[in-house]
Structures are given as C-alpha cells and as structure tokens.
Structure 1
Amino acid sequence: MAEFVLSRLTESVVSLAVRRLSELLIHEAASLTSVEGDVARLKDELRWIIGFLKDVDRKQERNECFRELIIQVRDVAYDIEDVIDIFIIKISSCYFKTFQLHRIHSQINSIQTRLDGIFRSMQIFGLKFVGEESVSMAELRQNFRRSYPDEDDDVINLEVGMMDLKAQLMKQEDRLCIVSIVGMGGLGKTTLAKKVYNLVDVKHHFDSCAWVFISQTFVPRDVLIEILMQVDSQYCRKIDLNRNKYVREISKKRKDAIENLRTLNVHDLICLLKDELKEKRYLVVLDDIWRIKAWDYIKHAFPKGKKGSKVLFTTRNKEVALLADPSSTPIEPPFLTHEESWELLQRKAFVCDGCPPEFEQLGREMVKKCGGLPLGIVLLGGFLRTKASLGEWKAVQSHMNSYLNKLHTQQQYEGVNEILALSYYDLPYELKPCFLYLGNFPEDWEIPKKKLIRKWIAEGFVRTPTNGEAAETVEDVAELYLRELIDRCMVQVCRRDHTGIGVKTCRLHDLMRDFCMLKAREDNFSEIIQNHESNMRTASASFQNLASYSRRLSIHHPNATDWVKLVHPHLRSLLLFETIYKLPLRNKSFILLRVLELEFSRLSISNHYGSESSRKVKVPREIGNLIHLRYLGLRTANVYKLPNSIGNLRNLLTFDLRQTQVGNIPRSISRLVRLRHLLLPRLWLLNRVFIPYRTGDFHSDKFSNIETLKNIPSETLIRYGALHKLTNLRNLVILIESDIHLVVVLKSPIFASGQLRSLHMITPHRFLSWEPLSSCNVLSKLHLDGKIAEGIRSNCHHFLQHFPASLTKLLLSNSNMKQDPMVVLEKLPSLRFLSLSYFSYSGSRMVCSAHGFPVLETLQLRGLDELEEWRVEEGALANLRELDIQNVHKLKMLPEGLKFLTNLQKLSTYFMMLSFVDRLEIKDGIEGEDYYKVSHVPSVFIGPGWSSAEKASEYLHAAAFLSIFS
C-alpha cells in the first residue's frame, strides 16, 4: 500500500509545483521574456503527470518500479519549485543580468529531459491519463453537514471501569497510592481517566488536582512546573498587592511565572512541589507514562500527603504500573464486544440517521476486523461516513480484507496503522499534505485552528476559490479542509469557538501523530527533531542523511541552536518549539523559507559584534533576504525592534507580533501589500490612559487584502485614509483614541461592507451612538472595553438594542452601566457566550427572566464590584453549561434559580467573600446551606475567598488591569 500512499502525496507535491509555475507566469511575466514558453510547457506536462499518477492509484498494483517512478516525479516537482524560487530571488536582486535567463533556460531543459524519461517509463507500464480532479467546496460542505458529532459518541460502556477507578481513587489509605490504567494505544485509557477526574465528587474529595501529559519525550523540569502551576493556583499571585506596586509587580509575575520556575533546577522544583503537597490530599494524573525511569525522576516530589492522596498513571506498559506500586491492581479496560463495536461504528458512520438495513451486514463484517479497539472503530466510522453507496462500502470491505487481517493477531498496533493508512489513502490529494503537516507539532499539543490554517496557506497547500465561489476566501477553503479531517475522525477537536460549532483548537491522537511522522519522513515531507534525540555528535550525520531533502523542519529539542546549523538550502518551513540563542539568517539555507515560526521559543539572536541578549532582541536586517516568506511568527519571542528590511518580504501573508516589545513599526511595512493577517503588539494602559507604539508612516491603506488587523490605533487608520480601503476586514482590534475617532470609525465602509465577523474596540473615553452596528449582519463576536453610559440619567438599554442578532459572543468591560443589561441582552437570539467583566455593571441587582438567554452556554461575571443580588427565574438560561463568577465580592449568595439549570456542567467561583464560599463548600461531610442549588452540577470548583472587603477591592483593581493583557 505504501506505493499508493506515496503516489497520492506526490500528486499534491506536483500540484503545488503547477501552482508555483502559474504564479510565476502571472507575477513575473515581464522578467521571463524568452523562457516564458518553457515555463508554460513545464506546467502543462506536470498537469499530465498528475493524470498519470491517478492511473497508478486506479491500477493499485504493488510494484517497486512504480514506487521508483513516483519518487522520480516527486523529486522533479521539488526541483521545479527550487528553480522557480531561486529565479525569483535572482530577478529581485539589483545584480540580475541577462545571463540569469540563460541559466534558468538550461535548468528547465535539464528538467524537461528528466520528464521525457518519466513519460517513456509511464508508457512502458501502460499508464493512461486520468483527468484532474480536486475536492470541491460543495463536496466539503456536504460532508460538513453530516459532521461534528459530540465527542462523547466515542465513549462506549465505560460504566464498570469508571466505578472501579473511582473506588480506587476515593479509597482512604494511609500511604501514597499509585493507581494505574493499563492498555494498548487507542483502547481509551485517557478517556476513562478524564471521565472520572472530572466527576464533581472526585474533585471535592481532593484538596488539589493536576493533570499532566508525560509521553516518550519526557522532560522532568517541564512536568514539575506544570504540576506546580496547577496544584497551587496562587503561585503567580503571592506578591504584595500594595497600590503603588501592583501594576508593576502583577504584570511581571503573570508574564514571567513559568520563566521564574525555569530558573530552578529539578531538585529545587521537587522540593518546592513536595512542600506544596505535604499538607494536602491531592490527585495528580500522569497521562501516557512510558517508562519507570520517568517516575523515578520525579517520584520524590510526591509526599504521603493527607490520608487518601493518589497519583494516577495511564500507560501502555503494565510493568511500569507494577513497579511503581506493587500493592495496587492496575485497571485494564476491556476490548469492546461485537455489539458495542457495532454501536460505536454506527455513531461515527451515521451521524444524523441510523444505519440503512442493506448496509448492516457489511458494516458488521468490517467492524469485526477492528478487534474491539475503539480507536480503530472510530477511524473506520469516519472513513465510512464519506461513502454514501453500497458499492463504495463493498470497495472498502475489499480493501479491509487485504490490509486489516492483522487485527486478530497480536499485531493490533500495526492493524491500527493499516486503518490509518487506508483513511489517509482515501483523502483527496489536497488534504494529504495538510494532514501530514499536523505531525510537526509536539505530542498532545493543542493546535490553534487559525495558526494552523494560516500555515497551510503559506505553504501553498490550499487552493484559491474559483470564480463560482467568489464569496469564499482561501481561509474558508482551509477551514473546510480541517473540518473534513475532523469529519473523518483523523483529527480531534479540543475546544470549540464561541459559535459552539466551529473549531478553536485541535490535536492528533499519538498513534495518528506517529503515522504522520513516519510518512512525512519517508516522503521527505518534513523532519521532526524531538527532545529525546541523541546528542549532536552522534546524531548530526544521521540527521543530514534523513533531512537532506526534507522541505520542513520542526525542532522540539532543547539544543535548537545546534540543530538549526544543520539545515539545508531546500528548507521551506522552520518551526521552533524550544529556545534558540542564534538564528543564523545570513545562512543561505534559509533563503527559500516560506514559514518561520518562533512563537514557542525564547529567542536570542547574536548581533554583528557577536554579543547576545536573552531579554531584548533586534531582528537582524538579513530577515529581508527571505523574500519567499509567507508566514512570520514572532509572538512572545523577546523581540523589541524590527529592521526596515522587513518591507522586502513582499510575499508575506501573516505577520504576528503580539506579545513582543516592538515599540516602533517601520514605515517599510507598508510595502507588504499581500498581507492578509497583521497582528501588532498589544496596547498598554496605565490608569485608563493608553500608550500606543509609534507607527511612523504606517501606510495601512495599502493593505487592501487584509482580513485580520489587531491592536491598531484609530489615529493611524484615519491619518492615512485606510478606513475606506479595508473593506475585506473580518477581524478588527482597534484602540479608539477620542470621541471623534469613534464617530469616524463607525461611519467607515468597514461596518457597511458586510464582512466584519469579530470586533474588539478599546477606549479610555466613552462609546457613544452605535446605530452602525445594526447593519453588521454577520458580526459574531463583539468585545467593548470602555464606558457605555455615564451619569444619573444615562440609559444603556438604548445603546445595547443596536447589537445585531447575529452575535454569538459578547464581552463587555469597564462599561459602567447603571441599568441591568440583562433586560436587553437576554433577548439576543444567537448569544452563546456572555462576559460582563470589571466594572461593566455598577448596579446592585441583576435579573435573568424566564425564557431569557435561550441558547447561552457560557456566562462569566467578573469584577462586578456593586452587585449584591442576582436572581434567575425558572426557565431562564435553559441551555447554560458553564458559569464562572470571580471577584464579585458583594454578592451574598448564588441565586435560587440555579437549581433549575439542568444542563449546567461546570461552576467555578474565585475570590469571593469567605461568607459566600462557606455557603457552598462541604466541610467535614456537612454541606453548606447553598450547596443544594448546585448539587446536580458535575464539576464545581470553589476557589479561595477573601476575609475582608478591602483586600477583595484591592485585588479586583489589580485583576482588572491584568485583563487588558489576556
């Protein structure tokens, strides 16, 4: 099967080369002159090769000659991309001469000769041209309409395992017990652990709980820090809250908490954690622990604690469980029975309707091949979901008979890989590189959707919508690609966005990630350097052999600086997830980069004199040589100054500068005319006065393609007349610097364009009339930070009535509303998320009336310093699932009406008065007088409380300040 997987991936590689040739013909026609015909002919012949590759798939013959032929095609496509990109660099140089045309002519002739040989081989093998095809938007939308089942659909028959695990965790033993869940990958160990970990009575039983992922790439320091941050929620807040110090100290603590812990060695961290836990009954989950050595590294951090403390393992290795605690009996989840397997397959294959009778026999025969392994069944169900006819199901069964017969042997792991290969093989060729790209992220990494699809676009994986799809953007196409991968159960959803339907973050199961890494390495698609790789002396030669032609490099190794020195000149993407102290941009190996992601690393770049700074970094001017760069992520990378050469990055599509210290945006940024997403540094505020960065001659009016613009001062947009140019904006975060600016912004075409989906406006002044908002019919997310109404006679209700019915997420901060806003807000028909934060409402009473907020799922009440009484009528908030209350220190008790909220799944309270906390807590087995109001809620977290109103008020102001930077 490997030949066919390779051929399908090669289709996508060749398609990318065709796309690059098309771009060259469009954008560089004036420079091509005599070689234009050669380039056009290359493009046509590559399109024919795609057709022949499809015939390889159709024939499905296992032939080593086919494999060699496919590798030749892939290498030719890669070489064409290199020729194009290097040629563009040459013509961009002031030293470009006519002889460069002769050179590219010679290179094209060489490639043409290789293509002629490939064509002859194809004819010898009897391959025929099969017309090109690509997945259409309509097909993806149709699949999406069948997609996104509830993640709980993956769960079958966990009741017995949950009862057993819960009993072991709640058992009162006078020693530290290690409880283990043991089983092969894909059996549901983590699912079982999460179900029990989130039970309300389990959470109440322990004083502190923490969950950390261990994996094969175990780093003791990182694990200890993560546990510390979870078991001691006050770690970052143990500082003097003196009014003269809180701005400086709290902001520093919040930003540097983890960095401060990183300065400690492992021994010190062990001592710190041990001291934190010694007086507590605690539960710490170590998910996916592979070796007993990992436990030996950190076990001394876990004291006996109070009676009943537990550490919970999930592991594939039973020996690890027995060695860690010989007195405990590991829990081993059973494989699913045939009936349970069939039930799970139906849930995944038929999301909306049941299984038609004529499909049942085929389905039951196929599910037997999965051997009761939940992951295999879920993958098979996602695969079958895309097959609508009985004939297609029979074809799948035929494949399974060939490739899945290992599942009844002891080689179940390989069997899962075969299901994965089958699912991967069936993907439209445009989705294959998108799926493999996910393997670049670390194990169990929560991948932000927006960052992922922007990288896909930068790599060229996503096709541009056709004329018939004029209303769609390339980002829309990329999102449909991701939805298709989720629909096929190849990617897991971690968190959904404010609509409740879209994806915010996603992840790969570790077995799927292993498959991605294996295929990516085989096909020179990407190379991942993990933090368990051997030392540089022994590994460098091996790495250079493996990655000499790999187009992408992802480094998770602590010695990232040393690994970067080994990169080769074909590299297109560099993702750094660890500290790098030197980024040698003068190195010609970076010249073809399209993606450079430094967000996850602590960056320090040496200057011209060889000195280094680990705190503040100037980006060297050599960054301007990377003219193919389409994605540049510098978020959190210690950068404080950009060079003027940044304007040379004419192909840049995404530029992320958030959470950097850049104080001056070079005027050359106006040359980045292809930008689609510009995310500028956060704006600072002190005593409600904003200190924006200097923008100089920031000609943002040149950015007609821009869709995302974050943290931009209104003065900049108005000065350059940009408000009339940015008609494609979908996401805007803007600082309104005066009342006049607000009027100008609201009357701009941005609001009349019908494109705006997300709007965040911040002002130290007042928000005045909001009639233009009524016309924003697709506005989904709105965040207003500033005063809405002032004075005794002010009425905020008229203001709020202009909010469009399309809103699904609303955040109001510092609004100073005198009237109860719920009277108006509860009528918004689509609102799923509502946050009233930090002085947004200054009244003492709030009412949620019957039938109000019909679809609201999340409600946050934070920093409402005057609220004393909150009433929830029966029938209100019928769909509420999550309630978060913080710093509402005058609120005496929870409303009686919470007992009617049968869908409420999670309640969290933080920094309330102790009298409020006492009414909810269970102490010595005695329930507080308000506990009955929330006894039905599965997850209840009662955070620390204040003993005095003065301390509560002081902390409230500090928290309000911090909210600006979150």
Structure 2
Amino acid sequence: MAELVISKLTETVLSHAIETISELVVQETGSLIGVKGRVKSLQTELRRMQCFLKDADRKQEQDERVRNWLAEVKDVAHEVEDVIEIFITKVSSSYVKVFHQFNLRNKINAIQAKINDIFKSAERYKIEFVTGDGTSSMAKLQQNLRRSCPDDDEDEEIIILEDSMEALKMQLTRMEDRLHIVSVVGMGGLGKTTLAKKVYNDVKQHFDCNAWVFVSQQYVACDILYEILVQIERETEREKLKNLNEHELVDRLKHDLKEKKYLVVLDDIWEIKAWDSIKKAFPNKNQGSKILFTTRNKEVALYADPLISPVELPFLTFNESWELLKRKAFQIDTFGKHGLSPEFEKLGKDMVKKCGGLPLAIVVLGGLLNTKNSIDEWKEVKRNVNAYLNKLQSGQLYEGVHGILALSYHDLPYYLKPCFLYLGCLLKDREIPRKTLIQLWIAEGFIQTPSKLDENETKLEDVAEQYLAELMDRCMVQASERNQLGFEGVKAYRMHDLMRNFCVCKARDENFFQIIQHDLDINMTGVGSPMHLSDATTIHSRRIALHVACDFERHNFPLPLRSLLCSDIDHFPVSSLRRKNFRLLRTLELGGISLKDKFKVLEEICKLIHLRYLGLRRTCISKLPNSVGNLQSLQTLDLRYNHVKLPRGISRLTRLMHLLTSAPLMLKYRGSPPRFDESQLRISGHMKLVSNVLMIRCDALFKLTNLQKLKILLRNKKEATTLLESPITKSSRLRYLDMKMEVYINDAAKDQEAAVFPSLMSLIPQCRFLHKLRLEGPIEEDLHDSSHHCFRSLPTSLTEVTLVCSHMNRHSMAVLEKLPNLRLLRLISDAYCDSEMVCSANGFPKLESLYLFKLRSLRGWRIEKDAMPSLKKLDLVKISQLKMIPEGLKFVTTLQSLDVTYMGPDFKHRLRVEGEDFYKVCHIPSILFSTPI
C-alpha cells in the first residue's frame, strides 16, 4: 500500500522544481545568457508532466509500471532542483560564469532526454494528459481560504468517561498527609493523556504550582527535571538551569517545592527505573501534593504508590463509541440541519461496532469519514477499512489501528502528505509550536497558494493555517495548547504516539526523512533491526532529524541534503557543513546546542546560500558574521535567547519574513548614537518582526510594509507621531501592534511630559486587519468631547486590546465598548483613572474576557443590564479602592469564571456563600480567590 502515495509526493516535488526554475529566471537573468531559453523550456516540460500525474494516480494501484513511472518523475524533479541550485551556488562564488553556463546547458540536455523517455513511457502505459486546476481537495481548500478561519472556540470533541474522570479528580483534590502518586493505566489509544489533560486543567488551580512533562521510553532524568523546573520557575532562569547537572537539578527542584502544594504530571512513563531516577526530587510533606502518572504498565503505577489504586481505563461501550464517531464523522453543515439519515447511521454503526471500543481507532475513522459526504463514499470507506476493523474486533488491536491509520493517510490530498510526514521529524513527546511548524513548512516549500486566489490577498501563512485545520479535522494531529479562551486558535500541537510511529515508518518507506536517534542506531519506529552508526552507513534521504550527536564524516550521503533538524544533542561538528552534499541545505535547526568554535560554525553556515530557515535559538552565540548577508533566500532567522550583535550584512536579507530575537526594538536616527549594541538594520519590505527589540533606522523600518507584527519602544510623542504617520501603520498586513513609551521602562528617561501617545486618528482607518493592539503609556485625549476621542478611529477588526498606564477616563470606555469584535480587554496599572467605570447596555457585544489590574482610582463600577452579553471570564486584581462587586454582574449570565486576587478580605467575604454580595455571583460556576506565591 506504500506505493499508492508516490504520485502525491511526486506532485509536491514537481511543484518545488518548477518554483525553483521560476526563481532562477527572475533572479539570475544576467547569469543565464545563452541558456535562459533552455531553462524556460525545461520549466514548460515539467508543467506538462504535472498534467499526467492525476491519471497516473488513478492507475498506479493496478499497474506496477505506472508506480515505477511515478518514481522516475519524482527523481527527475529532484534532479532539476539539484542542478539549478548547484548552478546558483557556483555562479555566486565564481567570476567564470561561462564555464558554469556550459555545464548547466549539458545537464539540462541530459535531463531533457530523460523527460522525453518519461513522456514516451506515459504513452505506452496509456497515461492520459489531464488538464484542470487541481483536485476537489484543492478546490475545497480555496473555499476554506475565502471564508473566515475555522472556529477554534469549542472544546476538544472527546468522550470522557465520567466515572474515570470523577475518580481521578477526587484522588487529586483530596487532602492527604503525604505525597500521593495517582496513576491512569491503559493500553495505547485508550485516551489516558486526553483524560489526564482534561482533569489537569480542571484541578490545577487548587495547587500552588504545576507542571506537565512527557517521559516516554527514551527518557533522560536530567531532561525531565529540567522541564519541570522550567515550568515552575521564571522563564529568565532557563539559561541558568541548562548548566546544572542531575544532582544540582534534584536539589533545586526539591528546594522549590518544599513549602508548596504541587501537581506534577508524568505522561507516558514506561519503566520503574524512570521513576526511581527522579523521585528523590519531590518532597514528601503534608501539603496535599500529588504526582499523576499515565502509563501502559500497571506494575509501574503500583510500584510508585502501592496504597493508591490506579484508575484503569475501560474500552468504550457501543453507545459511547457511536457517540464519539458521530462527533468526529458528521459535519454539522451537511447533516446537522436534517438529522442523520438511516443509511449513514447503519453504515456508521456497522463500522464502529468493530472498533473494539478503542477511542484512537474511532477518532481516526471519524476523521476519515469527516471528508466524505455521500453514501457511496461511505460504502467505499467501509469496503477499504473492513479487513482492519475485523482485526480490531478479533482483538488484534495494534494491527487494526495501523491499517486504519494507513487508510487515513492515503486519503489525504497530495498537498497535505508532505506536511503530515514532516511532523515525524520533530522530537517525540514534545509539543509542536504552531508558528514554528508553519515557518518550517514554508521553508521546505510544502505550502502552495491556490492559483485562483489573489496572491496579494492570500499569504502562505494563511494557507498553512488551513492545512493544519484540515489535519485536525482528519484527526491526524491534536491541539495540545490553545490561546486564552480558545478564540485565537491553537498554540501547539502533538501527535498520538501510535500516529507518530506510523508517520515515521511511512516517511522511512518513502525516503522522505531519516531519524538518527539512540547512541548506536538509526531507528525509524522503535521496532525492527537498527542500522549501527559504528559502521559506515549510507543515508538515502534528503532530510535528517538528528536526536543524538553523530560524526557525519563516517557516512555516505548520495543525495544532496535539504533539511537538518538537530535537537537534544551536546555538540555539532563544524566539519559536517563543509561536505559537498550539505551545500543545498534549505532548513537548518541547531536550537539548544552549545556550539564549539561558534564563529567558525557560523561562518560555514553563512556559505549555505540556499538556506530558508536558520534556527540558532539558545546556542549562546554573541555575534553573527557579516557574511550572514549571503543568505539571501533566508525567510526565518531565530536568534531568541542569545545576546547577539547584528552585523550590517543583515540588511541584505531581502526575503527575511521572521526575525526572532529577545532584544528591544527602538528607532535609530541618522547620526544618533545607538541605544543598544545592535548595528543599524536595513531590510526591505518582506520582513516580519516577532518579539524582537533592535536598533533600527527609521527609513529602513518604514519600508517594511509587509510587517504582520510590530513591537516597538518609543521615546516621546514626536517619535510616536512619526511612527503612526508612517506607511507601516497604513499597511493592510499589520495584525499586531505593541507600542511602549520609554519613560515607563526607564525611570531615568528625559522629557517625561512629552512621553505620551498622540491622537491615534492618523493610525488606523487603513489597518483594517489589525487584530491586537497593546499600548503602554498615557494617551492624549479630549477630556470634554468624546466624539473626538482618539479611540474612535480604532479599526473594527480589533479582537484584543491591552492598555497599560494609559490614564483613560469614562469617555475612553464609552468608545472602547462600541468595538464590535473585541473579545479580550486588559486594563493594567492605572490604564483607567476615573473613580467610576460604566459598562453600558449593549456595550462590549462580543467581549469574552475582561482583566482589570491595579486600577488605583477606581471606587465604583456600574454594569447596566444587557452589557457584556458574551462575557465568560472576569479577573479582578489589586483594585484596592473597589469595595464591592457591581450589582449588574448578576445580569451577565454567560460568565463562567471569576478570579479575585489581592482584593482585600472584605471584598472577598462579601462574595462568599454567606456574604451580602453572593446573590450577584451565585450563577457563576467557578469563583476563585487566588493569592499568587
């Protein structure tokens, strides 16, 4: 069945080759004298070849010759990419261009001969030329891109067994006189992690601190301890923790936890010795602390705490299984309005009763059925899946699940297959950050903009977001972390370990990537015969995920390497980058590696001129070489958690979209001394600045009209006005704007009276896509006439507003509450300075979360009936003058959570059951009285 996917991957590879030629024609015109016609002719032939793929896809299952034909097309497409990029590399470093042009001409002739043979074979095998714009899947993608993003506001659609959940909650929240280890036990795919995550989120507020760590079979005690410490300490301590040995990590964690009530989850712990290696770090005191295991091995659970009975997950009943399948398989817009027809119900029940009550099998089957809208399509799925369902029914659970996973994979449209396989490259049992994944996909060339959509209106990031949404709909990935309230989407993803094993195995079969892990082997799935690195090894892949230090000099790479992703390794040999077959690297991730001979490594990296993604996060580098400007294809440069000085050469990175740093951004004027160490930065308008703070010339910054996120530190009103009148704030690309006045960061700043934001009238009508706005500093406003208030020009697209030290009055609130799409509002540290606040009837129509912190002047708050009709979460922190909750809160029936922190004993007493204000809040399901540590 592995052969059935060749055409899908071939389509993607062919598209990459055509794109590579297009870039060469546009950018290297001067180097193509005498060969440009041949290059363009080659591009035409590859486009013709694409039109044969759809018919070949239909015929390959019955004809091995067609499968071999598709493999030949894939090899030629790769060869085209290699030849073009080697030519670019040699031309860029040589004055003798004629020789390289002659060499390119000969290689194109050889490729052209192969293509002619391929076309003749297509004719012999009766593979037909099919025109059209793509598959129905691509058409569906186009429709999805034209409408708004999928609604991520709903909870994960899962079946949670109430008895198991309540038993687990009771064990975790019960006060005990010693540390208790509570366990959830069950086979893979039963939903242990899902249950634990649900309960963890429900009970973690009862503990002073909490942490969640994946353990797995390939655990390292230091890594587990480090991950726990990172979650319970400040982010700023991360670098110090990296330098601690195991004994020091144990002492540090024991010290941090000794006076606290803590909850730690050890997810997917396999062995007794894994617990023995870390248990001494957890104080056993009378604090009500708990540790939660999820494990397939009941022996591990009983060993850790013999006095506590594990929560053993049962298989789902038929009714529970059917309910889960319905949630996953039936699209509301297709079936919800008219109910479920008897035919669909019969087919669904016939399939689900053979799933053996295994949630993973049901969820994946539901994801497969979710894309099928007709009875015929469901019947076809049933025919294809029946053999695997029979295995499930007979107790061959893992074999049955693997077969269903394979069918779900083969059903993916061609553009999703490489994206799915790529997930297996990333480290097992780690969450996959959404933004990083999207940047890697784009660098690899996996994201294609549908041809019928206007490229000026559709960004590659939007297409990638839709790809992720499709993989979630098909239950191929899971959301592991959502943004606040879920309305901003998913922050990170994870794969079930059985899904990942399948993914890695399939990628091995296709030579899509190769994982090097464990000390002496290359192991794809955790099973089978390893290939020992102690012997010379030939690695037949263009992508490598390196999870253990490796001497590349001992091994043969017959194919040019495109991606090298390193994680959890101690060092990286600089000599590897000098190898010929590493010169075409597009993606290089070295995050977390302490580089030896740092500058030499960086100089070698700067010779890899095809790099599109370079990850140097936490590598302890302090300076980039000026030759970084050679990386003119670079799209993402991750320098976070390094104290790094940027050279002038960075101004040549004209395609840079994501510059990730941890330093502040401040405008630099011609002739002015630098505020920080960073040199001036000149970059053209493709760049996206993310959580970065750098010295930057005004004229350079104002050219960046494609910025999606801008975070900037300003000195005074004049500088703020200059920014607000610049092309950046008039750009339709800007999604997030964060502006701070330096006077509120640096007490020694001069000209404090001028450190105010001007009227925002000049900012915003053009920023129709601005979603988030954060302002730190006072805002100039008309105290007498709210009709001229500067907020009146804010874009209606805003969903999130955070104001710090803004000194607003009641007129400001009257304007803010009219924003039609505002869903999150934070007012922090005297952002509001009137003594009374009013939330008017019908004001804040979509507001879901309101956070009020340290508003020292606020004495009274009035909420009118029908105000904030969508509010779900309210946080009140350190509002010392506010003595009681507003009367009108009783009308806000949508409120789910009220969190009261440092509000004084009288305020809190009034809200308790016996208090005089309890009637105002008795409808709220969760009321928390928090006191931060």
Tell me the TM-score normalized by structure 1: 0.83
Is the contact made by 1:684 and 1:690 (CA closer than 8 Å) also made in structure 2? no
- Of 315, 318, 343, which aligns to 1:338? 318
- SS of 1:218's equivalent in the other structure is coil
Amino acid corresponding to residue 451 of structure 2 in structure 1 = T
Residue 952 of structure 1: aligned partner: none
User: Structure 2 vs 1, CA of residues 92 and 498 (structure 1 numbering), >3 Å: closer, same or farther?
Assistant: farther
Q: Any idea what the Cα deviations from partners look like across 1:606-630, whole Å, max 9, x if unmatched? A: 057x8xxxxxxxx733333111111
Q: CA deviation at 1:295?
A: 1.4
Determine the structure 2 residue equivalent to 1:758: 736
Q: Match for 2:91: what amino acid?
A: I
SS at match of 1:625: coil
CA-CA distance at 1:809 after TM superposition: 0.8
Q: 1:313 to 1:388 in 2, by over 3 A?
A: same
Structure 2 partner of 1:91: 91
Matched residue, 2:78 = 78
| Letter paired with 1:510 | D
TM superposition shift of 1:90: 0.8
In structure 2, C-alpha distance between the alignment counterparts of 1:173 and 1:714, rounded to whole Å: 55
- Is 1:858 aligned to residue 849 of structure 2? yes
SS, match of residue 810 in structure 1: strand
Aligned counterpart for 1:476 among listed residues 462, 484, 494: 462
**1:416 corresponds to:** 401
Structure 2 partner of 1:455:
440
Deviation string for 1:197-216 (max 9, x for gaps)?
Answer: 3335x853x56544322222
- Amino acid in the other structure paired with 1:333: L
Question: What does residue 218 of structure 1 align with?
Answer: 219
Q: 2:608 aligned with 1:626, yes or no?
A: yes
Shift of 1:170: 4.6
- Which secondary structure does the structure 2 equivalent of 1:3 belong to? helix
**CA distance change for structure 1 residues 920 and 105 in 2, over 3 Å: closer, same or farther?**
farther
Distance in 1, matches of 2:413 and 2:404, equals 16
Alignment partner, residue 682 of structure 1: 663
How far 1:134 moved relative to its partner? 3.4
- TM-superposed CA distance for 1:812, in Å, is 1.3
Mapped to 1, the partners of 2:25 and 2:451 lie a distance apart of 18
Paired residues for 1:340-739 under 5 Å = 340-352=320-332, 353=336, 354-466=339-451, 468-470=453-455, 471-493=457-479, 494-496=481-483, 500=487, 502-530=489-517, 541-542=532-533, 548-557=539-548, 559=549, 568=557, 570-578=560-568, 580-582=570-572, 584=574, 585-598=577-590, 600-606=591-597, 620-663=602-645, 665-679=646-660, 681-683=662-664, 692-693=675-676, 698-700=681-683, 703-706=684-687, 708=689, 711=692, 716-718=697-699, 723=702, 725-739=703-717
Q: Is the 8 A contact 1:5 1:421 kept in 2?
A: no
More displaced 10-residue stretch of structure 1: 871-880 or 433-442: 871-880
Query: Do the aligned residues in 2 keep the contact of 1:524 with 1:550 (CA within 8 Å)?
Result: yes
State the AA in 2 paired with 1:747.
E
Partner-residue secondary structure (3-state), 2:471: helix
1-structure distance, mates of 2:221, 2:283: 17
Residue deviations 1:728-772, cap 9 Å, x none? 333333333443333333233334443332222223321111113
Counterparts in 2 of 1:86 and 1:836: CA distance versus 1, 3 Å = same
Q: Secondary structure in 2 aligned to 1:198?
A: helix
1:47 deviates by 4.3
Cα distance change on mapping 1:654 and 1:171 into 2, 3 Å: closer
* C-alpha distance in 1 between matches for 2:715 and 2:258: 52
Counterpart-to-counterpart distance in 1, 2:813 and 2:629:
48
Higher deviation after alignment, 372-381 or 705-714: 705-714
TM-superposition CA deviations, 1:640-687 (whole Å, max 9, x none): 322221211121222344443234x433333222233344552179xx
- The match for 2:294 is 314
Report the equivalent of 1:242: none
Whole-angstrom distance in 2 between the partners of 1:147 and 1:710: 26
CA distance 1:396–1:30, shift in 2 (3 Å): farther
- Per-residue CA deviations over 1:45-72 (Å, capped at 9, x if unaligned) read 5445545554453235377666655544
Q: CA RMSD in A?
A: 4.0
Structure 1 residue 387, shift from structure 2 partner: 1.9
Q: Give the secondary structure class of the aligned counterpart of 2:314.
A: coil
Summarize the Cα distance change of 1:743–1:325 in structure 2 as closer, same or farther, 3 Å threshold.
Answer: closer
> Would you say the 8 A contact 2:665–2:713 is kept in 1?
no
Residues 569 and 593 of structure 2 are in contact (CA less than 8 Å); yes or no, is this contact kept in structure 1? yes
Quick check: 1:767–1:786 contact (8 Å CA) kept in 2? yes
Give the Å deviation of 1:807: 0.7
Q: Give the alignment partner of residue 169 of structure 2, picking from 151, 166, 171.
A: 166
Point out where structure 2 has 5 or more consecutive residues left out of the alignment: 524-528, 667-671, 743-754
Amino acid at match of 1:295: W
Compute the displacement of 1:292 (Å). 1.9
CA 1:532–1:219: 2 relative to 1, 3 Å = farther
Q: Is the 8 A contact 2:786 2:812 kept in 1?
A: no
Partner SS for 2:319 = helix
Which protein, 1 or 2, shows the higher relative CO under an 8 Å CA cutoff with sep ≥ 6?
1
Partner of 2:778: 787
Distance 1:533 1:934 in 2: 61
Please tell me the residue identity of whatever aligns with 2:622.
Y
Spell out, residue by residue over 1:56-112, the C-alpha distance to the aligned partner (whole angstroms, 9 max, x if none). Answer: 532353776666555444334333322221111011122434332343344344445
User: CA offsets, 1:170-204, max 9 Å, x none?
Assistant: 5566554432212222222122223333335x853
Does structure 2 retain, via aligned residues, the 8 Å contact 1:134–1:429? no
The size of the alignment, in residue pairs, is 897
Q: CA offsets per residue over residues 498-525 of structure 1, 9 Å max, x none?
A: 8815444333233222222222222222
Equivalent residue of 1:260, what SS?
Answer: helix
CA positional deviation for 1:808: 0.2
Question: What's the CA shift string for 1:689-720, capped at 9, x where partnerless?
Answer: 997446656434xx1334557657797224x5
Q: CA deviation at 1:158?
A: 1.9
Structure-2 separation of matches of 1:679 and 1:276: 31
Change (3 A) 1:398 1:880: same
> What fraction of aligned residue pairs are identical, expressed as a percent?
50
Letter in 2 for 1:23: E
Residues 755-808 of structure 1 show CA distances to partners (whole Å, capped at 9, x for unaligned) of 332222223321111113341322211111222149998989812222222210
Partner of 1:178: 181
Letter in 2 for 1:162: M
Q: Secondary structure at the match of 1:440?
A: coil
Letter of the 1:485 partner, please give it.
Answer: L
Please give the alpha-carbon distance, in whole angstroms, between the structure 1 residues aligned to 2:659 and 2:302: 53
Query: SS of the residue aligned with 2:500?
Result: helix
SS of 1:269's partner is helix
| Deviation for aligned residue 1:496 | 4.1
| 1:807-846 aligned within 5 A | 807-819=798-810, 821-846=812-837
Does the CA-based 8 Å contact 1:820-1:841 persist in structure 2?
no
Contact (CA 8 Å) 1:217, 1:532: kept in 2 or not? Answer: no
| Contact 2:563/2:586 (8 A) holds in 1 | yes
Shift of 1:892: 5.1
Cα distance between partner residues in 2 of 1:548 and 1:132: 38
SS in 1 for 2:850: strand
Q: Indicate conservation of the 8 Å contact 2:551/2:573, yes or no.
A: no
